[in-house]
Amino acid sequence: MTSVTFEAPRDLARGKGKRRTTRGPRYRPTPPPRPWVGKVAVAAAAAGLVTVVAQGIAIETGTELSAPGGVAIFIGSLTGLVGMYLALLMVVLVSRIPPVERILGQDGLLRWHRRLAPWPLSLIGLHAIIITVGYGQAAKTGFLAQIGQFMSSYPDMLAATVGLALMALAGIVSIRAIRSRLRRETWWVIHLYLYLALALSFAHVIALGPSFVGHPLARALWVLVWVATAGSVLAFRFGLPLARSLRYQLRVAEVRPEAPGVVSVICTGRNLERLPFAGGQFVEWRFAKRGLWWQAHPYSVSALPRPPYLRLTVKAVGDHSAAVAGLAPGTRVFFEGPYGVFTRHAQRSSAVALVAGGIGLTALRSLLEELPARSQPAVVVRVNRPEEFVFRSEVTELVRQRKGTVHEVVGELGEVPFNARVLRKLVPDVASRDVYVCGPPGFVDHVTAMAETLGVDRRSVHHEAFAL
Ligand SMILES: Cc1cc2nc3c(=O)[nH]c(=O)nc-3n(C[C@H](O)[C@H](O)[C@H](O)COP(=O)(O)OP(=O)(O)OC[C@H]3O[C@@H](n4cnc5c(N)ncnc54)[C@H](O)[C@@H]3O)c2cc1C
C-alpha cells in the first residue's frame, strides 16, 4: 500500500524547487496503556487516604477530646488533613505522569481533577472555621478574638490564611458560570495560585497539626508525600517538556493555507523518529514569538510524523489560533506531549466509524493513517461549507487505500440535519463499530448521544472535544 503523506516544505525539499513528498511511517509508536498502572495508582491513593484518616483518629486521646474545644479541634484537624491530602491528589492528577496519562488522557485526568475539587476546597474551608471555634473554646476567647490570636502568635498561620484566601479565589473562578465569563488565560493564571496556596499552607500543617507534632514518622511520611507531589509536577509539567523541546529542536518550516481561516504549520526537528506518537494525539504547542511564548495551546498532529517533519493544522477562532497563521519560518517551537487516549489503543472491535465536526478532522486524519489496510473505515465529515473539509484529497485517498467510505454532510446547522437517522443511513452497521468522534464539544456530545441511541456500546465511543 502506498502511503499518503503531506508535502515537505519547498525550501527544505531535497532537489531545489521541487516539492518532496515525505514517506513513512518512521516514528516511534506510543506504548499501549497498562491498566494495572491505573489500579496501582487508585490503590495507592486510597491507601494514603485511609492512612491519613487512621493517623488523625489514632493520635487522639479521650482526655484531649473531653477538654474544652477538644471535639472541634479534633474535627477541625481531621477535615484539614483530609482536605490537604485531597488537594495534593488534585495536583498529582494534573501533573501528567505519562503512564497515568496514557490510561485516562488529559481530558479524563481533568475530569477527575474537577470532580475532586469541591471536596478539598470545602474541607479546608470547614477546617479553618471549626479549628478557630475549637481553639476559641479552649482559650475561652471568641471566634474573632481567636483569629487575631492566630495571626499574632501562631507561627505560619498568616501564610496559611493567605493560602486559604488564594484557594477560595481559585475555587470561585472555577465555578462554571464565572469561568465562562473570564478569558481563559486570566482563569489559568488565577488557577496557578493554587500551587502557591498549597506551598503557603505547608508549614502550618507540619508545625501545628496534631498528627505531626511529636510524631516524627508521620511527619516524615507527610513531607515525603509533598516532595513526591512537587517532584511529579516539576518532572512531568516542566522537566519532560523542556527536555523534549531541547532534544527535538522543533522550528516552524512553513505555514501553509488549507482552507478559509485554516492553516497547517509544518515543523521540522531533529530525531523525530524517536518521539513516541500515536495517530489521534495532540500536543501543547508554545511558539517562541512575541505575544505567544507565554501560552501553550493544544492542537492535534494532523498527520503521522514524517521525520524530520511534523504537521499541525489550526483553525482561527481567537487570538492564539489566528496568530498561528503569522508564524515566520525559523520560529522556535517548544512543546508538551504528545498527549491523549484518542488512539487505536482504545479500539475494541475490528471496524471503526470516524466522525469529524469541522476542524475535528485533524485528529481523525492522523488516526486514519494508522488504520491497517482493508480495515474498511467509515468516515463521516460534518461541515457547514464544502471548503471547510480540509484534507479532502488526503482523507479520500487514505480511505480508498483501506477500502472504506467517506461521507460528507454539508450545510448550515439547522438547515441540514445530522441526527441518528442520518448516521444510521450513512453507516448502517455503526452499532458493531468503534465510533471515534472529534470536534467542538457540542458536536462531540451530540454524536456520542446519537451513537448510543443507535446501540453503540458506551465503551466503544471514543471522543476528543476541542476544549479542555
Ligand atoms: C485536545 C485538543 C485538540 C485540539 N486540536 C485542535 C486542532 O487540531 N486544530 C484546531 O484548530 N484546534 C484544535 N483545538 C482547539 C484549540 O486548542 C483552540 O481553538 C485554541 O486553543 C483557541 O485558542 P484562541 O486563543 O485562539 O481562542 P480563545 O478565544 O482563547 O478560545 C476559544 C476556545 O478554545 C478553547 N481553548 C482556548 N485555549 C485553550 C487551551 N489552552 N486549552 C484548551 N482549550 C482552549 C476554549 O474552549 C475557548 O473557549 C484542540 C483542542 C483540544 C482540547
Residue 12 has pLDDT above 60, yes or no: no
Shared-domain flag, residues 93 and 152: yes
Q: How far is the CA of 299 from the centre of ligand 1 (A)?
A: 7
Taking the C-alpha atoms of residue 87 and residue 73, their distance in angstroms, rounded to an integer, is 21
DSSP 8-state secondary structure symbol assigned to residue 21? B
Nearest CA to ligand 1 atom 48: 467
pLDDT band of 64, cuts 50, 70, 90: confident
pLDDT of residue 423: 96
In angstroms, the CA 178 to CA 376 distance is 45
Q: For position 22, what pLDDT does the model report?
A: 44
In a domain, 164, yes or no: yes
Residues 355 and 293 in one domain: no
User: Is there a domain that residue 47 lies in?
Assistant: yes
∠ at Cα 372 (451, 338), nearest 5°?
75
Q: Which residues of 3-25 are buried (b: 16+ CB within 10 A; e: fewer)?
A: ebbbbbbeebeeeeeeeeebebb
In this structure, the answer to whether residues 415 and 444 fall within a common structural domain is yes
In a domain, 85, yes or no: yes
pLDDT tens-place string over residues 161-179? 999 999 999 888 888 888 8
332 & 303 share domain:
yes
pLDDT band at 66 (very low <50, low <70, confident <90, very high): confident
Is residue 298 lining ligand 1, measured as CB closer than 6 Å?
A: yes
Residue 278 sits in a domain whose CATH number is 2.40.30.10
Q: Which atom of ligand 1 is nearest to the CA of 322?
A: 26
DSSP sequence for 164-198? HHHHHHHHHHTSHHHHTTS-HHHHHHHHHHHHHHH
Å from CA of 293 to ligand 1 middle = 16
User: What value, to the nearest 5°, has the Cα angle with vertex 439 and ends 438 and 441?
Assistant: 110
Judgement on whether residues 58 and 88 belong to the same structural domain of the protein: yes
CATH code of the domain covering residue 365:
3.40.50.80
Q: What are the DSSP calls for 96-146, one per residue? A: --HHHHHHHHHHHHHHHHHHHTHHHHHHHHHHHHHHHHHHHHHHT--HHHH
97-137 tens-digit pLDDT: 999 999 999 999 999 999 999 999 999 999 999 999 999 99
299, 312, 342, 366: residue to mutate for ligand 1 pocket, most atoms within 8 A of CB:
299
pLDDT of residue 4: 55
**CB of residue 468 inside a 6 A radius of ligand 1:** yes
CA of 276 to the centre of ligand 1 (A): 23
Which residue has the least CA distance to atom 24 on ligand 1?
A: 318
On whether the CB atoms of residues 2 and 397 are closer than 8 A, the answer is no
For residue 313 and ligand 1, the question of a CB distance below 6 A is answered with: yes
Q: Look at residue 5 and tell me whether its pLDDT is greater than 50.
A: yes
Could you identify the atom of ligand 1 that is nearest to the CA of residue 302?
A: 8
pLDDT for residue 209? 83
Beta bridge partners, 463, equal 437
Among protein residues, the one with the nearest Cα to ligand 1's atom 4 is 299
- In a domain, residue 5? The reply is no
* Total domains present in the chain: 3
What is the number of other CB atoms lying within 10 angstroms of the CB of residue 46? 10
Smallest CA separation from ligand 1 atom 31, residue: 318
Q: Is the CB of 464 under 6 A from ligand 1?
A: yes
Say yes or no: CB of residue 314 within 6 Å of ligand 1: yes
Domain end, chosen from 305, 320, 339, is at: 339
Please tell me the distance from the alpha carbon of residue 464 to that of residue 440, in angstroms, as a whole number: 9
Q: Which of 215, 242, 269 is the last residue of a domain?
A: 242
Of 242, 265, 295, the position where a domain reaches its end is: 242
How far is the centre of ligand 1, averaged over its atoms, from the C-alpha of 184 (Å)?
10
- Report pLDDT for 58: 86
State whether 228 and 356 are in the same domain: no
pLDDT at position 324 is: 97
Report the atom number in ligand 1 closest to the C-alpha of 296.
Answer: 41
Note whether 113 and 177 are same-domain residues: yes
Do 85 and 231 lie in one domain? The reply is yes
Q: In this structure, are 90 and 172 located in the same domain?
A: yes
Q: What percent of the chain is predicted at pLDDT more than 70?
A: 95
Nearby residues of 267 by Cβ (< 8 Å), 6 or more positions away: 250, 251, 252, 253, 309, 310, 311, 312, 333
Specify the range with the lowest mean pLDDT, choosing from 2-6, 17-21, 405-409: 17-21
Q: What is the mean pLDDT of residues 3-13?
A: 54
What pLDDT is stored for residue 72 in this prediction?
94
| Cα–Cα distances in angstroms (integers) from residue 261 to residues 160, 254, 322, 359, 390, in the given order | 48, 16, 8, 11, 11
Per-residue pLDDT band at 19 (split at 50, 70, 90): very low
Name which of 456, 454, 416 is nearest 435 in CA terms: 456
β-bridge pairing 262-268 and 276-277: unpaired
CA of 467 relative to ligand 1 center, distance in Å: 6
- The C-alpha cell 477530646 sits at 65
Locate the ligand 1 atom nearest the alpha carbon of residue 188 and give its number: 41
Same domain, 353 and 304: no
**How many residues are recorded in the chain?**
468
Please give the average per-residue pLDDT across 52-81, as a whole number: 88
Strands (E), 247-346: 250-259, 262-268, 276-277, 282-287, 297-300, 309-315, 332-339
**Distance (Å, rounded) from C-alpha 448 to C-alpha 461?**
7
- Please give the distance, rounded to the nearest whole angstrom, from the Cα atom of residue 316 to the centre of ligand 1: 9
Question: What tens digit of pLDDT does each residue of 230-285 get?
Answer: 999 999 999 999 999 999 999 999 999 999 999 999 999 999 999 999 999 999 99
Is 443 among the domain residues?
yes
213-240 pLDDT per residue, tens = 888 888 999 999 999 999 999 999 999 9
**Measured from the CB, is residue 359 less than 6 Å from ligand 1?**
yes
Which ligand 1 atom lies nearest to the CA of residue 339?
1
Helices H, strands E: what count in the chain? 16, 13
Q: pLDDT-based confidence at 21, cuts 50/70/90?
A: very low
355/440 same-domain check: yes
pLDDT at 1 over 80: no
Domain around 152: 35-242
pTM comes to 0.90
Task: Identify the pLDDT of residue 8.
Answer: 59
